[in-house]
Structure 1
């Protein structure tokens, strides 16, 4: 069994924003299995409040959120935490979402369900950039 000190990404925290508890659990488990620390948020404003008080190094943001879209969260996060790297995820296959996310500063975009290893590769690449 590995200890936290043996896990390669244990000094990096990923904030995950999704209003679906099952997605939060699954992404949390996936990221933790690769050695990341994970903070889970189910409300956009709570993530943004956190970002105003704590450094956000990396975030995974779902597009469909109540009250505020993930693209709006991305724009606000870029204002309060300009160095944060962001991956945007969605269950809707609308090509304009990908274009808007990437134009808004996201480093990657994934359509749910996505390949876990490709997702982790994108996270690792963004963290090491």
Structure 2
């Protein structure tokens, strides 16, 4: 199973217990006593999540959540705490936490939260891959082809696009064919979806 759970908790016994539980469930694990230790670790490029204690010496888990967000680090977070309160949990969930569990928690509740977090991270990674591939294709278009793609995506016919750009209808048809080929769009609907995802719009 190419899925990793990172555990950050200053209590060695908690780390050991979580490590044993998650390894028995088939996850690869890495344990850290502090957020700083976690940050120094080079993470594998695979679906993962972070099980994070709320209260630790120095910066709290909630503060670290903000720090990760500011660094555009989208790893899903599951909070554990023995001293939680409602405002704390609301703050964590509003900031994107997958779950906020009070110690002692049911092992199944943690495993369910981890499964959800891993799936969320896998979906994010797949979306980023698709976006990267689309931008690579977009970069192969000429400036004129981008203009044609944006106008085609608004539903304009070749004749209308020709009028907008001051081109012949035949020239627009050629550009449109090039756009479809370079973007690897099988249908107009495909091209429209790509355009929407790339945020293209006719100027």
- TM-score normalised over the length of structure 1: 0.84
Q: What RMSD over aligned residues (CA atoms) do the two structures have, in Å?
A: 1.6
List gaps (5 residues or longer) in structure 2: 121-203
CA apart distance, 1:12:
0.7
- What secondary structure does 2:74 align onto? coil
1:117 CA displacement: 0.7
Deviation at residue 118 of structure 1 after TM alignment: 1.3
**Of the candidates 84, 103, 113, which is equivalent to residue 93 of structure 1?**
84
Question: Greater share of helix residues, 1 or 2?
Answer: 2
Tell me what 1:46 maps to: 37
The worse-fitting range, judged by mean Cα deviation, of 92-101 and 10-19 is 92-101
The range that moved more, 88-97 or 59-68, is 88-97
The 1:14/1:99 distance shift into structure 2, 3 A limit, reads same
- For the 8 Å contact 2:78–2:97, the answer to whether it is kept is yes
> What corresponds to 1:64 in structure 2?
55
> What is the DSSP-based 3-state SS (H/G/I as helix, E as strand, rest coil) of the residue aligned with 2:105?
coil
SS in 2 for 1:66: coil
1:73-110 Cα deviation digits (max 9, x unpaired): 11112233532111011001311110111112211110
Question: Quick one: higher RCO (CA 8 Å, sep 6+), 1 or 2?
Answer: 1
- TM-score, normalization: structure 2? 0.55
2:151 maps to: none
The yes-or-no answer on 1:120 pairing with 2:111 is: yes
- Indicate if the aligned counterparts of 2:68 and 2:74 stay in contact, CA closer than 8 A: no
**Cα drift, residue 125 of structure 1:** 1.5
Unaligned 5+ residue runs, structure 1? 1-9
Counterpart-to-counterpart distance in 2, 1:93 and 1:107: 15
2:100 counterpart (109, 119, 124): 109
Structure ranking higher in strand proportion: 1
Give the Cα separation in 2 of the matches to 1:80 and 1:30. Answer: 30
Pairs aligned (count): 118
